[in-house]
Amino acid sequence: MGIQPTAQVPALPDGGAGTSGGDDVHLPRQQRAGSRRDFWRFLGVKFSGAMISLVLVLFTAFFIFRVIGGDPVKAIGGDSAMTPEQRAEIEERLGLNEPMSVQFWEYIRSVLTLDWGTSYVNNQQVTDLLLGRLPNTLLLTGTALVLAATVGIWVGARAGWQQGSRFEKSQVGISLALWSAPTFWLGMIVIIVFSVQLDLFPVNGMRSTRGVGDGFWPQFLDVAHHLVLPALTMAAVIYAQYVLIMRSSILEERGNDYLTVAKAKGLRDDVVRRRHAVPNALLPTVTLIALQFGAIFNGALLTETIFSWPGLGLLFYEAIRVPDIPLLQLLFIFFAGTTIIANMLADILYRFLDPRVRSSA
Amino acid sequence: MAEKPQRSFLKRAAVATVAGGVALSMTLADGAMAQDGGKHTLIVGTSGLSNIPHLNPLDSGWLLQGEINNLMYTPMIRWSQDDFSPAPGIAQEWESSEDGLTWTYTLNPDATWSDGEPITAEDAKFTYDTIRDTPLLNSRHGDLVNNFTEVRAEDDHTLVIEIEEPSAMMNHLKGVSIMIMPEHVWGELDDAGEYAGEAGQPTSGAFQLSEYREGERIVLTANKDYWEGPVSYDEFVLQDYQTPEAMVQALQAGEVDLIGGLNPQQFEALEARDDITTSTGPGRRMQSIGFNAGAQTRDGEEFGDGHPALKDPVVRRAIAHAIDKERIVEVAAGGYAVPGVSYVPPIFGDMSWEPGEDELIPADAEIGNQLLDEAGYDERDSAGIRIDPESGRPLEFRLFYHSDRPSYAIIQDFLVDWVAELDIRLNAVAMDTTPLNEEQEAGNFDLAFGTWSAGPEPGETLAYHTCARLPETAEPTDLTFSFYCDEEYDELYEAQAGEGDLEARSEIIREMQRVLYEDTPAIQLYYENQLEAYNSERWGGFETQPAAEGMIREQQGSFGYRSATPVELLDENGGQAAGSGSDSGSATPWIIGGLVLVAVAGGGFVLMQRRKTADDRE
Amino acid sequence: MSAPSTPAPAGDTDGPDTSTPPAGAPPADPSGTGVTPRLASARAVAWARRRKAFADFWRQYRKQPAGLVGLGVLAFIALATVLAPLYTDESELRAVNAPGERLESPSGTFWFGTDEVGRSILLQVIWGARVSLQIGIVAAVLAVGLGTLVGMMAAHYGGWTSWLLMRLTDWFIVLPSLVLAIALVVALGASRFTIIVAIALTSWAGTARLVRAQTMSIEGRPYLERARALGAGHWHQMSRHVLPNLMPLILASATLQVSSAILTEASLSFLGLGDPSTVSWGTILERAFHAGAISYGAWWYMLPPGFAILAVVLAFTLCGRAMETVLNPRLRGAK
């Protein structure tokens, strides 16, 4: 869901005021005249920055989830009567009786040894849980991302090129409307219309309960069938930012002389757009999209919850209810860590790929 | 000229995707129906599978775990289908010595493990010894096994247990909570507490585990040679759903065959369909309001910030008079519930107590007011609220309710108004479950909502009101209800715990409920009905527990699942063919809604766009 | 140029490029129209300048039809919300006073039908607006306030402070905000207050970055150097010169922030983390979902609150975008 400002900011990128996020992308421009040494310095700055952010995430993950407190014992004991002996046994096993400082050192140790412990609920290694669900989330978000990005960039490019046209206005309108709809609500409506009423797609989950045989293709088709609605819903929500970013990127490009030259050479409008404007506008767009990585997790969280898609978002939602602290910590660190690293890579890659930056380096 | 084809490629790809998606869905929707052709699989939808830590039959705290255990294992003594009284399982019959300290159980000689080995008294002895010696299992079942002085197998089919103190539990050996494990397999385990359920293990019940995907699904295969008679289908699947709503849709789509835990709206929506049959019966989950009857330690040291007036049973009783349980059942539970009395729901037959004419606390604020006046609560403050003569504080209480329970939010509304008629003020406070529990366990509350699922062994629930459950020091605890402590009640508790005779015991149990009803440490609002539905185009023959008007799911046994029969195999009287059940008509609002969405989004912008072009022309 | 960044206020070192002084903000320029030989009181001059700035701003804004539509929708909703006590009976929101039957479909009496207790959905949507808007606006103001403070401090003080603040800002920008907000609400316990805090804490960073860049460009202007030379303290520089110049940008940012705050509130409520004691659009949807509105086919229970959210969020977004367009002439200029 594009609800938070990071998602929103690029969703409205053609405004002068509301935009940010592009600040990092600025850096290359200012340092364009820099030398190779500057480039290494730049790498160092970016890398150390990301490391500091990661350490901050590690600390946050401990404190925020310890504050939740809660009583996992109940969640483990079950929904029937519990004896005093049982309660004592569980508390002992989970180490809940230890003082905070001991728990903290335990936590640091687990971080350093990459042994994240077992889930309160499942007695499974939390890393196994994460790895087990990760492919499902990748499938969903990947599909949605590709869908939203291809269509969004294509539409955005056309919209930007034909500024003021009917096409542009209607597309911007649709994007904004999609962006304004709550993800979960959109999901509910999609379920009602396409699953409950029209009976075209399965309602939730990732596979048919009745099984479809062991062959690859039946399995593949089954998953694909289940994927349609969640992927479309998620794509619809993140779609807007691609349209709007690409549109404004193109708007920026349009003012440039080289395009005028290209047109003056007698190239067809379409060709100018496709050959010159779009490739140049694409780089900053893709960079900005990479910077918005965190927004994708937000979307995944809500989409997976509404469609019962067995991915990481759903896992997080389930863990919150317990609360399953080791699992929550790992998921939080994973979400935040992935985003931080994706951001760092986007920054570096941008500087590396931008021809204007590269040539001067 | 590369661009032209490229663009149309995009367009074509989009069209193909949509068309493909639709075609795919059409074929698969049909395919799914036809798939299970030869094999019959009963798919049960549930929510909360992800709560389940493992499938260790000796360490089960969840109803769902219990359901799976019951499908795979036969207990020594089960709870009868009619009224939850102890009934033969692996043990055919049992008797105690005069002094109640030696119990002899005769095992069914036909009983076998699914691998063909006989189930013997040695297996039973092995199981009880294992529970005694494994700390994890002992913490759960110590109340039974720590009382054993000796367990011995007289012969293959005779088990003798000597105990230290007479115990009512010997009559059922904790029923379905403890399953007997095969010594020839479990004897090899290093730590029985670590067992988490393994596919293909020999079982003593109608099914064997064949797949366990944690948090997602459990697949059981029918044991064709089950010594009590195999089921009429091949496979049982427990499929997890995140929400009841998702489950309902899966039932409608034919993805699952049987679901439970519905709310009244879902129940009625399903009732209206031809291809689905609904089933309802009184359940064992109760909703209640608990009072802080004076948080204190065992030594009488008080703690918490409860209102002192609530220590007086008269005040609690007066509040009980103000509450119209029938109305609450109507509004909050859609009529699918039974007004509550005490801690043992009526489905448990003999164990459950019904108030007589003169014992009943009728819903009548008049009587409540009278009680309060007589007890000296007749002064009022400037706001017209009664004053507690002892502490001088007005009778103004906090009422905590769980923010994630919509029905509490509704009930709370009624309670505030009703109790106001007694000139008592309730301040309802919505809280998250976790902080609410914390406050309640620390005695920092006046009234709080609560829910409880009673089992067939009433002692487990009734223990929560004994003085022994009060904390030793002024520490929070969730092992007591209402911090209630009463000597008369404790004596009754002791008496029933050692009473080996079923009838004599149930009499004491009923008396204990009477005491609780009169003292009112809590008000039982209602016992929820179990609301269930199944696909009657595929399945029928479900039997319930209790046998009359009971539940199919969440039984203390597996009568419902074991009696399930594919429609093709049902004889004339049971089977019923139904027409196709797609409800038309109700689709329209959704389509209209979708159109409005498009119209709002599109229309607004067309409008703007017009004006914009007009502006531009200026 | 690197496109996505260009629409943002010019970068740190670029100084005031032509697009940066927002159209609506000439006020603090001392050589501007405000100074007259007759030396009216400074305050009067300032006010006159601001009035004029506002008039300019409005003239530009009026040319944005989408912005006008957004403004119209907001005005309507604000009116309907403020006047709600005059034409509805709040007590009917209580279950005790529910006037209808369970899940009645829309009729003359209940335009949007009733919920599972018999309360009017329309009434709930009208009263839900109060909570949703309140949370949205307060959270946005807090977020933008915090962002402005951090951004200005980072720009003004520079050095170590700036580095620290910007690291923090980057950190908050990068984190998946919904995940963080959920964690915060769960940790602090769900209530209207904690939701506001959680939303504000997870959404201030964008503004901070923006404000920092803008502040730096303003501080580079000559008149501020003059002010500094004349001995103006930090506080004076900030409150008298920088902040007024930032105001339009802050306003636009806040407007956009409101829409995302409303969406976040709805999402949190839907996940069961809303303030349970009040009715907001998010909590109505949550109840609808759990009451089985989908199975029951009770479309009247789900469509109205959802459309209400959509309308308000869209309206705020349109207004915010229109404001941005006014502030950034480059966007406006395109033919």
Task: State pLDDT tens for residues A187-230.
Answer: 989 888 888 788 888 877 788 888 777 778 888 888 899 999 99
Tokens, residue A222? 């089954």
Taking only residues 467 to 486 of chain B, the set having a beta carbon closer than 8 angstroms to any beta carbon of chain A reads 469, 478-479
Nearest chain C Cα to A278, which residue? C3
- Is the separation of the CB atoms in B446 and B497 below 8 Å? no
In this structure, the dihedral spanned by the alpha carbons of residues A124, A126, A132 and A134, taken in order and rounded to 10 degrees, is 170
| CA atoms within a 13 Å half-sphere pointing along the CA-CB vector of A113 | 9
Closest CA of chain A from C172, distance in Å: 9
Question: Does residue A185 have a pLDDT over 80?
Answer: yes
Which position has the higher pLDDT, B292 or B62?
A: B292
A262: number of Cβ within 10 Å: 18
Is A69 in Cβ contact with B434 (below 8 Å)? yes
Q: What confidence category does residue A255 fall into, taking pLDDT thresholds of 50, 70 and 90?
A: confident
Closest CA of chain B from A205, distance in Å: 8
Quote the distance between the C-alpha of residue B601 and its chain's center. Answer: 45
**Which is it for strands B235-240 and B217-222: parallel, antiparallel or unpaired?**
antiparallel
CA distance C139 to C197: 7
Give ∠ CA C218-C259-C137 in degrees, rounded to 5: 80
Poorest-pLDDT segment among A248-257, A331-340, B404-413, C173-182: A248-257
Partners of residue C7 in chain A, C-beta under 8 Å:
13-16, 19, 22, 248, 252
Q: Which residue among C19, C310, C324 places its CB closest to the CB of A177?
A: C310
Which position has the higher pLDDT, A272 or C8?
A: A272
- pLDDT score at C216: 86
**Partner C contacted by A307 (CB < 8 A):** no
Taking only residues 205 to 244 of chain A, the set having a beta carbon closer than 8 angstroms to any beta carbon of chain C reads none
Domain ranges of chain A: 137-310
Of C142, C148, C90, residue with least CA distance to C120 = C90
Q: What confidence category does residue A245 fall into, taking pLDDT thresholds of 50, 70 and 90?
A: confident
* DSSP designation for C102: T
Question: Does residue A21 have a pLDDT over 60?
Answer: no
- Taking all residues of chain C, what is their mean pLDDT, rounded to a whole number? 81
* Ranges B471-480, C93-102, C132-141, C288-297, most confident: C132-141
Tokens, residue C47? 């006010």
Question: Does residue A105 have a pLDDT over 80?
Answer: yes
- Burial class from Cβ neighbours inside 10 Å (0-12, 13-18, 19+) for residue B191 reads exposed
CA distance C334 to B612: 13
CA distance B430 to B414: 15
Report the percent of chain C where pLDDT is more than 70. 86
Closest CA of chain C from A51, distance in Å: 11
In this structure, the dihedral spanned by the alpha carbons of residues B2, B4, B10 and B16, taken in order and rounded to 10 degrees, is -120
Task: Summarize the confidence of residues B18-33 as an average pLDDT.
Answer: 50
Task: Summarize the confidence of residues B187-199 as an average pLDDT.
Answer: 90
Partners of residue A305 in chain C, C-beta under 8 Å:
271
Which position has the higher pLDDT, C6 or B119?
A: B119
Nearest chain B Cα to A174, which residue? B601
- pLDDT score at C25: 34
Of A169, A189, A191, A172, residue with least CA distance to A181 = A189
Q: Which of A9, A189, A329 to mutate to test the interface with C (most CBs of C within 10 A)?
A: A9
Is B265 in Cβ contact with C291 (below 8 Å)? yes
Question: Does residue B572 have a pLDDT over 60?
Answer: no
Taking only residues 198 to 227 of chain C, the set having a beta carbon closer than 8 angstroms to any beta carbon of chain A reads 202-203, 205-207, 209-210, 213
Report the percent of chain B where pLDDT is more than 70. 86
- pLDDT score at A42: 83
- pLDDT score at C314: 95
Q: DSSP string spanning C7-18? A: TSSP-TTT-S-T
Taking only residues 554 to 583 of chain B, the set having a beta carbon closer than 8 angstroms to any beta carbon of chain C reads 583
CA distance A42 to B244: 53
Tell whether omega for the bond before C65 is within 30 degrees of 0, i.e. cis: no
- pLDDT score at A81: 67
Partners of residue A192 in chain B, C-beta under 8 Å:
590
pLDDT tens digits for B358-409?
999 999 999 999 999 999 999 999 999 999 999 999 999 999 998 878 889 8
Q: Which residue has the tokens 């007759």?
A: C38
Task: Summarize the confidence of residues B511-519 as an average pLDDT.
Answer: 95
Closest CA of chain B from A83, distance in Å: 7
pLDDT tens digits for B4-24?
444 455 555 555 555 555 555
**Partner C contacted by A162 (CB < 8 A):** no
Question: Does residue C18 have a pLDDT over 60?
Answer: no
Is B435 in Cβ contact with C189 (below 8 Å)? yes
Taking only residues 50 to 79 of chain A, the set having a beta carbon closer than 8 angstroms to any beta carbon of chain B reads 68-71, 74-79
Give the chains touching C; criterion: ≥3 Cβ pairs < 8 Å.
A, B
Taking only residues 263 to 282 of chain B, the set having a beta carbon closer than 8 angstroms to any beta carbon of chain C reads 263-266, 268-270
Closest CA of chain B from C120, distance in Å: 15
Tokens, residue C24? 């609506």
Tokens, residue B426? 């309730």
Give the chains touching A; criterion: ≥3 Cβ pairs < 8 Å.
B, C
Amino acid at residue number B549: E
- Burial class from Cβ neighbours inside 10 Å (0-12, 13-18, 19+) for residue B234 reads middle
CA distance B94 to B92: 7
Partners of residue A33 in chain C, C-beta under 8 Å:
none
A279: number of Cβ within 10 Å: 10
CA distance A242 to C283: 30
Residues 6+ apart with CB under 8 A from B279: B530, B532, B533, B534, B542, B544, B551, B552
Task: Summarize the confidence of residues B60-84 as an average pLDDT.
Answer: 92
Question: Does residue A359 have a pLDDT over 80?
Answer: no
Q: Which of A1, A3, A322 to mutate to test the interface with C (most CBs of C within 10 A)?
A: A3
Is C184 in Cβ contact with A176 (below 8 Å)? no
Poorest-pLDDT segment among B602-616, C261-275, C320-334: B602-616
Tell whether omega for the bond before C106 is within 30 degrees of 0, i.e. cis: no
- pLDDT score at B237: 94
Which position has the higher pLDDT, A41 or B57?
A: B57
Tokens, residue B318? 């007066």
Partners of residue B28 in chain A, C-beta under 8 Å:
202, 208, 212, 221-222, 225
Is A183 in Cβ contact with C184 (below 8 Å)? no
CA distance B60 to A72: 16
**Partner A contacted by B604 (CB < 8 A):** yes
pLDDT tens digits for B520-546?
999 999 999 999 999 999 999 999 999
Question: Does residue B91 have a pLDDT over 90?
Answer: yes
- pLDDT score at B11: 54
**Helix (H), strand (E) at residue C125:** helix C121-157
pLDDT tens digits for B118-177?
999 999 999 999 999 998 899 889 999 999 999 999 999 999 999 999 999 999 999 999
- Is the separation of the CB atoms in B131 and B72 below 8 Å? no
Which CA distances in Å does C105 have to A197, B367, B447, C25, C109?
18, 40, 36, 52, 10
Taking only residues 245 to 274 of chain A, the set having a beta carbon closer than 8 angstroms to any beta carbon of chain B reads 270-271, 274
Can you say whether the dihedral through the CA atoms of A149, A150, A153, A156 is positive or negative? Answer: negative
Partners of residue C69 in chain B, C-beta under 8 Å:
604, 607-608
pLDDT tens digits for C40-65?
677 788 788 888 888 888 888 888 88
Is C290 in Cβ contact with B589 (below 8 Å)? no
- Which pTM does this prediction carry? 0.82
Poorest-pLDDT segment among A94-108, A125-139, B288-302, B335-349: A94-108
Quote the distance between the C-alpha of residue C12 and its chain's center. Answer: 25
- pLDDT score at A67: 67
- Taking all residues of chain B, what is their mean pLDDT, rounded to a whole number? 86
Q: What confidence category does residue B604 fall into, taking pLDDT thresholds of 50, 70 and 90?
A: very low
**Partner B contacted by C303 (CB < 8 A):** yes
Q: Which residue among B243, B244, B406 places its CB closest to the CB of C287?
A: B406
- pLDDT score at A200: 84
- Taking all residues of chain A, what is their mean pLDDT, rounded to a whole number? 78
**Partner C contacted by B44 (CB < 8 A):** no
Q: What confidence category does residue A323 fall into, taking pLDDT thresholds of 50, 70 and 90?
A: confident
**Helix (H), strand (E) at residue B339:** strand B337-339
**Partner A contacted by B580 (CB < 8 A):** no
- pLDDT score at B389: 94
CA distance A156 to A243: 4
Closest CA of chain C from A85, distance in Å: 29
**Helix (H), strand (E) at residue B209:** strand B207-213
- Is the separation of the CB atoms in A13 and C7 below 8 Å? yes
Partners of residue A57 in chain C, C-beta under 8 Å:
171, 175
- Is the separation of the CB atoms in B44 and B236 below 8 Å? yes
Residues 6+ apart with CB under 8 A from B90: B74, B75, B76, B107, B108, B111, B119, B124, B180, B204
**Partner A contacted by C9 (CB < 8 A):** yes
Is A183 in Cβ contact with C267 (below 8 Å)? yes
pLDDT tens digits for B253-278?
888 999 999 999 999 999 999 999 99
Nearest chain B Cα to A208, which residue? B255
- Is the separation of the CB atoms in B41 and B236 below 8 Å? yes
pLDDT tens digits for C253-287?
899 899 999 999 999 998 888 877 788 999 999 98
- Is the separation of the CB atoms in C103 and C161 below 8 Å? no
Question: Does residue A325 have a pLDDT over 90?
Answer: no
Taking only residues 23 to 52 of chain B, the set having a beta carbon closer than 8 angstroms to any beta carbon of chain A reads 24-26, 28-29, 31-32, 35-36, 41, 43, 50-51
**Partner A contacted by C186 (CB < 8 A):** yes
Poorest-pLDDT segment among A322-326, B167-171, C9-13, C211-215: C9-13
pLDDT tens digits for C130-171?
999 999 999 999 999 999 999 999 988 878 888 889 888 988
Q: Which of A308, A316, A320, A325 to mutate to test the interface with B (most CBs of B within 10 A)?
A: A308
pLDDT tens digits for B438-496?
889 999 999 999 989 888 999 989 999 999 999 988 888 888 999 999 999 999 999 99
Helices within B520-586 (DSSP H only): 559-563
Span between the terminal Cα atoms of chain B, in Å: 38
CA distance C147 to C143: 6
- pLDDT score at A356: 56
Closest CA of chain C from B421, distance in Å: 14
* CATH code reported for the domain at A137-310: 1.10.3720
